[in-house]
Structure 1
Amino acid sequence: MPTKTRPIEKFAAAAAKCSIESAVYGKCIVADYNNVYKGKCLTEFMKLKDCYVANYKKLK
């Protein structure tokens, strides 16, 4: 009987492959953390999201 991968395990595996994008996004947010607003660092966030989605799809 094959082992079923839980969604959180797939999320963790996909997110682990995006450490560079995570670091860039985190640095952008922390650069001015007293002035965080919706849409701040949107470009960096979208690169992180794209990395995550691409890696998540590979885990199917």
Structure 2
Amino acid sequence: MPGRSRPIDKFAAAVGKCSKESAVYGKCILADYNNVHKDKCAAEFMKLKDCYLAAYKKR
């Protein structure tokens, strides 16, 4: 079906638009990866999530 995109394609495109936020979140987790716990990097994760959702909706 031409013109139709799969959800995974939209997600992949959205991920590509959020590299800065992904790097910040990854650095937060990596900073103390032996002590990862719930809400450790919640602020960074929420910024990453917001970026993904905004980029996903634009496609």
Q: Taking structure 2 as the reference length, what is the TM-score of the superposition?
A: 0.95
Corresponding letter in the other structure for 1:17: K
Q: Percent identity?
A: 75
**Structure 1, unaligned runs of 5 or more:** none
Give the AA of the match of 1:19.
Answer: S
Counterpart residue number, 2:14: 14
SS of equivalent residue, structure 2 residue 5 = coil
Post-superposition, which runs of at least 4 consecutive aligned residues in structure 1 deviate over 6 A?
A: none
Query: Pairwise CA RMSD of aligned residues?
Result: 1.0
Indicate the residue corresponding to 1:58 in structure 2: 58
1:2 shift after superposition: 3.0
Cα deviation, residue 4, structure 1: 1.2
Which runs of 5 or more structure 2 residues have no equivalent in the other structure? Answer: none
Q: Whole-Å Cα distance in 1 between the matches of residues 8 and 40 of structure 2? A: 27
- After TM superposition, the structure 1 = structure 2 runs for residues 1-60 of structure 1, keeping only pairs within 5 Å, are 2-59=2-59
Q: TM-score, normalised by structure 1?
A: 0.93
Aligned residues: 59
